[in-house]
């Protein structure tokens, strides 16, 4: 089998793919791991003999290990790189069965170093392929050992059986997963190669700086998914969308020039309570929040009752934010019940706090001048905010290109020249305008509600939906209101109707269901599943079949017995006719024109007549007859018989001489 040497390359390459699927290593680190395997593949392809270089390759592996130690890249990365280097050296050299087993062992070690670090769906697929690949290699090794004891042509291993074995492993593993007790080890992804820490990429931040340069790049990383309690009608879905339209993460009240920052003395949200989720409110849903660098829980406006994870997992932080006490490594669930409200009651700010909320920063006079042109005179806070926000939405353009970021005075450039920017410019400009007019105002950072994913039954919020808006104090109402001056952003790619959007929605749904139903599968889920199974079993024990079901079951049983008997009878007939032995059919098709089998003639008798017709093939036909008898009477595996019959059929192709 010409492809047999390439099977040795499967375990390390599949282990490399599994490691890459976790995202635990940076792209440069993955490239270093793949280099020895690529070199070995080149040697295999060119059929180079490096036996004379064995000692040099071994010294190269030792030097690579010492180099990794000098770099101090960490124990884990050193071990993984060394294993890949050893796999590459072993693949470059001639190898027998012991060396091929060493490759399998090193591939297994590489695989388990990653298996404890992730539970993603991509890794499940790679695990399945890894099991199939290693099973194929083990089958090849054992098949070669047994084939050396046989005579004649070397048959190919039955690789089709690998599919059945892999399916059996999946079924068995699924059974263990459902039934074994849950082990709460708290394993998380390995902290190697954190991505998206640099550059202007969309994402929640606790600072708003108008002087940032460069365009903002798209970021489809999932921030949270919001799943309503129970199915929703189109009207109810619209009501949910209105109630959850803005999800506040934090408020920015402090100023440093034109830079907004959180303030440590911002009062926490008085409308948020821990009640165990028992309160009945108009809007109820589950938040499934993705892991983030800040651990902030964005919440809608209104009176909110929360049902957090056990152990007081939430606390209030700076900027009136709600944060997880522990680092969030995976998607975390949070149940809430909400009574939406447009007003957040709070006593009027006084003293230092009033001065903080009306400070205007440096070089922001353009905001005062612009507001006086649009809305001159003394106006109530609500009317002033709505008029200014409406003018900004209708007269300016939303863009992520950041045309005013490099200006000496970004706010003035935005209002007087570019008339274009992202949400931070709109929110900051409106907040400065209100403060110049004596209205306490601040910037809020959080998210807009994302598109509805009908395939999964939830609202999807990604980092592309990160948003800034304004909260201002309405003295007439005695509380804070919101104003969003930013024009409508482009539609989310998940919400369009093209094929790629549908594929993205289905992919996100599968990932979400995998995390919810598999990764976070718990002992409570086990008990619920066991209760469901017991209830169905009790209902089954009370069920009694009717006459029609009994007749159908009897007919099915008789049909099954007849089919089973028909499959077994031909093997019990003495000698077995040539047509009854499946493996002889290729030869029968080629030779029956010149010498058809007689009625009730056995395979041995027919092959004997073929030998008399072609004496120079007598030895081969005699061996074929022995194999046919062994298969028909001794239940011997038919692999050798099949190979011999095909070879003989090729000799007879074209008819008898």
List, for residues 379-388, the tens digit of each pLDDT value.
Answer: 999 999 999 9
Residue 554 predicted with pLDDT over 80: yes
Q: Cα dist. 141→7, 104, 144, 464 in Å?
A: 10, 11, 5, 51
Return d(Cα 362, Cα 352) in angstroms, integer.
Answer: 19
Q: Would you state the pLDDT for residue 194? A: 28
Q: What is the pTM of this model?
A: 0.59
Least confident range from 214-218, 353-357, 410-414, 619-623: namely 214-218
Q: Would you state the pLDDT for residue 424? A: 92
Q: At what angle do helices 121-147 and 499-514 cross, to 10 degrees?
A: 80
Average pLDDT over residues 179-193: 40
Q: Would you state the pLDDT for residue 467? A: 92
Contact predicate 638/631, CB 8 Å = yes
Contact predicate 14/107, CB 8 Å = yes
Place 524 in a pLDDT band, splitting at 50, 70 and 90: low
Return d(Cα 169, Cα 179) in angstroms, integer.
Answer: 15
Average pLDDT over residues 280-298: 79
Residue 248 predicted with pLDDT over 90: yes
Predicted confidence (pLDDT) per residue in 61-73, tens digit: 788 777 777 776 6
Region of residue 72 (phi > 0: left; psi between -120 and 50: alpha; otherwise: beta): left
Return d(Cα 633, Cα 477) in angstroms, integer.
Answer: 97
Which of the listed ranges 172-176, 519-523, 572-576 does the model predict with the highest average pLDDT?
A: 172-176
Q: Cα dist. 105→11, 160, 203, 383, 389 in Å?
A: 9, 23, 42, 73, 66
Average pLDDT over residues 616-633: 84
Least confident range from 162-176, 499-513, 571-585: namely 571-585
Q: Would you state the pLDDT for residue 284? A: 84
Residue 310 predicted with pLDDT over 70: no
Average pLDDT over residues 106-112: 82
Q: Would you state the pLDDT for residue 526? A: 59
Q: Would you state the pLDDT for residue 574? A: 41
Average pLDDT over residues 159-175: 81
Predicted confidence (pLDDT) per residue in 1-38, tens digit: 566 678 888 888 888 888 887 766 778 888 888 888 89
Residue 191 predicted with pLDDT over 60: no
Can you read off the two tokens belonging to residue 528?
Answer: 């619920």
Q: Would you state the pLDDT for residue 503? A: 81
Q: Which residue has the higher pLDDT, 590 or 497?
A: 590
Can you read off the two tokens belonging to residue 546?
Answer: 């009717």
Which of the listed ranges 459-473, 505-519, 531-545 does the model predict with the highest average pLDDT?
A: 459-473
Contact predicate 365/388, CB 8 Å = no
């Amino acid at each position: 089998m010409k492809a047999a040497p390439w099977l040795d390359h499967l375990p390390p390459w599949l282990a490399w793919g599994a490691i890459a699927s976790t995202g635990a290593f940076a792209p440069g680190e993955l490239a270093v791991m793949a280099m020895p395997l690529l070199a070995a593949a080149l040697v295999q392809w060119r059929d180079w003999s490096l036996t004379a270089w064995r000692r040099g390759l071994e010294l190269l592996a030792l030097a690579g290990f010492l180099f990794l130690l000098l770099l101090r890249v960490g124990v884990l990365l050193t071990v993984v790189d060394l294993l890949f280097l050893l796999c590459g050296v072993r693949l470059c050299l001639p190898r027998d069965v012991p060396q091929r087993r060493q490759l399998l062992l090193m591939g297994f070690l590489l695989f388990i170093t990653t298996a404890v670090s992730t539970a993603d769906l991509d890794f499940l697929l790679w695990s399945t392929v890894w099991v199939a690949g290693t099973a194929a290699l083990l089958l090849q090794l054992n098949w070669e050992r047994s084939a050396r004891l046989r005579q004649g042509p070397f048959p190919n291993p039955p690789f089709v059986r690998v599919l059945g074995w892999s399916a059996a492993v999946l079924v068995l593993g699924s059974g263990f997963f459902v039934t074994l007790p849950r082990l709460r080890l708290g394993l998380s992804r390995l902290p190697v190669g954190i991505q998206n820490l640099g550059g202007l990429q969309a994402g929640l931040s606790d600072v708003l700086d108008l002087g940032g340069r460069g365009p903002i790049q798209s970021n489809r990383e999932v921030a949270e998914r919001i799943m309503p309690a129970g199915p929703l009608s189109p009207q109810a879905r619209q009501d949910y969308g209105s109630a959850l339209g803005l999800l506040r993460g934090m408020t920015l009240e402090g100023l440093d020039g034109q830079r907004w920052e959180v303030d440590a003395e911002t009062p926490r949200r008085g409308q948020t309570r821990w009640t165990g989720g028992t309160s009945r409110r108009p809007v109820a849903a589950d938040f499934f929040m993705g892991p983030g660098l800040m651990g902030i829980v964005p919440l809608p406006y209104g009176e909110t009752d929360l049902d957090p994870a056990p152990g007081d997992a939430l606390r209030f932080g700076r900027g009136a934010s709600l944060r997880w006490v522990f680092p969030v490594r995976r998607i975390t669930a949070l149940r809430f019940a909400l009574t939406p409200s447009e007003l957040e009651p709070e006593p009027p700010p006084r003293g230092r706090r009033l001065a903080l909320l009306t400070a205007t920063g440096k070089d922001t006079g353009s905001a005062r001048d612009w507001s006086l042109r649009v809305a001159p005179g003394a106006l109530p806070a609500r009317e002033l905010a709505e008029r200014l926000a409406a003018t900004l939405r209708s007269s300016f353009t939303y863009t992520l290109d950041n045309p005013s970021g490099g200006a000496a005075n970004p706010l003035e450039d935005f209002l007087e020249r570019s008339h274009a920017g992202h949400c931070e410019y709109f929110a900051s400009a409106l907040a400065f305008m209100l403060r110049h007019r004596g209205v306490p105002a601040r910037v809020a950072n959080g998210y807009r509600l994302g598109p509805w994913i009908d395939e999964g039954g939830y609202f999807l919020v990604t980092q592309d939906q990160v948003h800034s808006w304004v909260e201002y104090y309405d003295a007439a109402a005695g509380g804070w209101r919101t104003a969003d001056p930013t024009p409508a952003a482009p539609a989310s790619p998940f919400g369009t109707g093209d094929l790629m959007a549908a594929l993205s929605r289905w992919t996100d749904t599968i990932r979400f269901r995998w995390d919810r139903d598999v990764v976070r599968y718990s002992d409570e889920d086990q008990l619920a599943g066991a209760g469901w199974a017991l209830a169905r079993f009790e209902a089954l024990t009370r069920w009694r079949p009717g006459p029609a079901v009994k007749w159908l079951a009897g007919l099915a049983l008789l049909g099954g017995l007849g089919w089973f008997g028909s499959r077994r009878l031909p093997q019990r007939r003495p000698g077995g006719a040539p047509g009854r032995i499946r493996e002889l059919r290729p030869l029968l098709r080629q030779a029956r024109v010149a010498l058809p089998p007689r009625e009730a003639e056995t395979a041995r008798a027919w092959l004997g007549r073929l030998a008399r017709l072609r004496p120079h093939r007598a030895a081969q036909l005699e061996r074929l007859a022995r194999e046919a008898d062994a298969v028909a009477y001794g239940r011997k595996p038919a692999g050798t018989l099949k190979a011999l019959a095909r070879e003989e059929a090729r000799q007879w192709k074209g008819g008898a001489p």
